[in-house]
Structure 1
Amino acid sequence: MRPVTHHEIRLARRPRGGPGPDTFEIAETTLPAPGPGQLLVRNRLMSVTAVTRTLLDAGGQGDLPMPPYAVGEPLWGPALGEVVAVGDPGRGDGPAVGELVHHYRGWREYALVEAGEAERLPTAGPQALPDPAARLGQGFPAWLGVVRGAQVREGDTVFVSGAAGGVGSLAGQFARRYGAARVIGSCGSPRRAEALVKELGYDAAVVRGAGPVEDQLREAAPDGVDAVFDNVGGEQLEAALRLARPGARVAVVGALARQLGDAPPVRLDTFALLSRGVTVRGLPASAHRDALPRFRKEFAAGLRDGSLTVPYTVLKGIEQAPRALTELLEGRHVGAVLVEL
């Protein structure tokens, strides 16, 4: 039997600096009823991502293809849940009661979702995942940056910035899968650096704050780098560009240095880029939806055969979602950060 009310997390006020205890409000609200073309979904898992920090700021979305969160309204983000009611069950062309779906109405225990915005999770076939939680991993931007952006090739030396997060922890694995001979990642602590090497197959790690990034990267890649998966920008991207070999490919997939701080814009030596034939390309996932079927097939196959793994941490209870976001932004975990609702 479904409850009469449920809980959702709303934006109480815009953060000053980083989000704090007064940024969010846990509200109890009436359980919605689905209308025609809608589903009522009992959310089971949701993920928190770095873009949440950007969307909390008024007008802070920049060129992102999504609006910022509104004060007094619930947040939203990727979630998995079970369909518990259908507005027009006679249609039969959308997800049915009992099916597990992926959608973007997280940060609440129950979600009212338009049927066309809920995606069934396949339980059989080449895209079926052995662990549904992997669907909340950030595999697609990782794959996209490696395959279409950096175009990693056999024998490449690859540098992945922000390598311990949800995207970077998979980018290194995809780089290896596509033939990289040496994979170097950056992160924010010696503990995470150890995890990169011992658990995720990186050959070496650059630790932010342990000395100039360029010096550490030069030691790890004395002959330079052939491909760069940039998830951070700032000093790390500048260092990678200075070590880029002739013909290097640079995929810009994230901008954490600007999203999470006030890092100045990256300085580019355009003469060096030109003379060495270095390619720098931005890869917004929203512009490459055509690649999703190929990615999902490869992703599922890698998870099934054990050549890929999705590291994640789970915090339990909707009240833990603000804490999960804080810990993600502070870099406390390796891989994705999920909340069990």
Structure 2
Amino acid sequence: MPPLTDPRPELRGETQGAQVGVVMIGRNEGERLRRCIASTSGTAARVYVDSGSTDDSVAWARSQGVAVVELAVPPKFTAARARNAGLERLLQDHPGLVYVQMVDGDCELAPGWLDAARDALERDPGLALVFGRRRERFPERSIYNAFCDDEWNVPVGEAAAGGGDVMVRVDALTAINGYDPEMIAGEDPDMSVRLRKTGWRLYRIDHAMTIHDAAILRFGQWWRRTERAGHAFGELADRHPGLREPDWRRQCRSIVLWGGILPVLVMVMVLFAIVFGPVWLLPALAFAAVWPLQALRIAAKRRATLPPRQALLTGAFLMIGKLAEMIGLARFQIGRLTGRRSDLIEYNSGPARG
């Protein structure tokens, strides 16, 4: 990973009333980017990094007085590369920057978030990164949007990893060379874990942070997003094999069991039934029955926090998603063995995020 240049003098400890910068990233975000930029209008240090938009994103950002970085190809577009480029531009324009808020272009910052996040970092010098509650703008539009809204509702307190929307200390981020620009997914938890490995702590504070517009309205979009998650789990487990929180190796074992081994066993039993007789359908049905039973088990646990229908669908789609995750995991492993990096796995018109 190339070093991330920080041209500033040492600023650790000089944080009272420190300047906060904002890095926005996106591609073809349309109205979502307009809302994102509008929500940062009170911030002087802000930059938008564009990954090859064909709409008016770049022109609109510039018309709002936002510094713009247009990424060229090659190398490939990644969210990590965009965030690094945005931070470097901010540090060139605002060398006194102490904190930076990363935000995806399909998100809108909540009122008061920047002050709340900065205050939390200033109160605790051991924190490198804080994040708050990310909410979905239209959870009622599809069950997939509702899944996203629930996924982001993580507990308040010490955290093992953050997502795409976080406020982080600039000196901590530059010390670990920022995000890994080669990662097509999972760059946010990877960055978080590398911060933790150098002694920093992460925290989710009890404050609204961003409103996200996933716009996942079709099964295919959800499938691709879930496939990308499987790729991310595989790469994170490979990069941090000894880590137990989060335990990505355990996650990968779960994917292989539910999305790989059990489906193969069912298909083998069905093949045996065709060749050797219907008696083999009994073990095939027994193996196949494990999926709905596991889905019901998950749903029963989620009934405490979710409406009955959403809890049931959560269990069902988590199990269906194991198949998509298996494809993503296999894609990563094949790329690792062949030495070929995977391309972005996109689920909508914007960059692969979520």
TM bucket (normalised to shorter chain) is under 0.3
Q: Who wins on radius of gyration, i.e. which is larger?
A: 2
TM-score by length of structure 2 reads 0.25
Indicate the structure with greater strand content.
1
Higher share in helix: 2
